[in-house]
Amino acid sequence: MHTLRSISKLLIISVSMVIIAGCAHTPPCDKHAEIHAIIDQANSVFYLDDRIWFQSIQAEIASQTIILRGEAFFKRPVQGIIKKIRKAGWDYPVLDSINYLPEKFEGDLSYGIITVPYVMGRYKAVSMKHEGTEMLYGEPVRLIREADPYIQVQSAVGYLGYIPKTALRTVELSEWNRYQIGPQAVFAASLELDVDLEIKMGTRLPYLDNDRVLLADGSELQIPPEHFQIVDPASNPLREAIITTAEHYLGLPYVWGGRSADGVDCSGFVMQSYALNNLYLPRDTDEMANVGRLIGLPGWTDALLPGDLLFFGGSRRLVTHTAIYLGADRVIHSLGSGVQIQSLNPDHEDYAENLVQRFIFAKRIFE
């Protein structure tokens, strides 16, 4: 009996020594939970809508080093996590080993055009269930990552989804722009063509001229005009009306929660500029960011038109600020001293470098 007790004591001592040794060169074991809690809270606060964007970051703690792993779309919130860890008192090195999306694709083929009548985008790389949203023929999408035989894309409305690789044509940015810029032929009814092509109701294709449209494979086809309506976003007079309304707010002070003639915050200013032209948007910036279709990303602003909305990120949340595009690289927004016009072009006197660094995407609310 004494022998068994002695063995038990030795085992307890041995296990304790192993645990102590395992914690000797890392932050104290009872403090690991604090670091994980900081990251979990940052992931939660960052959340906008994981159907469109997401951030999933975890920490691995070893050898007096904190290694950040997981996935994210933007670096700024990750930098915010590191600042929070520092503020909590941890001075250990923090290594960024996060997989940033979208992935890099060979030959700059980072974009795609849907080539089938429609395809379901799914939240997982599977052929059944987990439906997100359908993408229609000719729809421009952004490639996110490989999952052979599937590929994850971001649709024109922003939803992420896995689709078969056979459902799209991969293209460079210059070709992608052809499907984003200029007049669109919008089909109000489904149409079957003699060229073994089916166009579903709701499909939008770039309109060229003389009743010709740009097909998803890059070819052109003349279609009788009674089958579609031509929509030209650049010629919509509502754009000029919204800009005129927005400029009436110039000089008003920034007021948190404000949407009156005595002061406005960023989303209140945008909301009112639209509302006074009978377009109603959600009140807060993060809700507003879910409306409309993607029309701009870092490194791609060629398709922006006056009246489109730009969204900017911060170190704590994905979306923290919004502005109205004026054209010629300038925006009007409520920030700091109040409603003002600033430029995204470094050659301009009113260049706002911080805005450029924080820009994450732009949305088109109306055509």
Judge contact between 80 and 316, C-beta under 8 A: yes
Instruction: Give me 214's structure tokens.
Output: 């740009």
Handedness of CA 190, 116, 153, 185 (dihedral sign): negative
227 tagged catalytic: no
Residue tagged active-site, from 2, 36, 333, 348: 333
From the centroid of its chain, how far is CA 78? 15
Residue tagged active-site, from 36, 227, 321, 348: 321
CB 97: neighbour CB atoms within 10 A? 9
266 tagged catalytic: yes
Q: How far apart are CA 265 and CA 252, in angstroms?
A: 10
Residue tagged active-site, from 23, 29, 248, 266: 266
321 tagged catalytic: yes
DSSP count for the chain of H helices, then E strands? 8, 26
Q: How far apart are CA 140 and CA 146, in angstroms?
A: 17
Closest CA to 271 of 358, 338, 365: 365
Judge contact between 240 and 306, C-beta under 8 A: yes
Would you please indicate which residues are annotated as catalytic (active-site) residues? 266, 321, 333
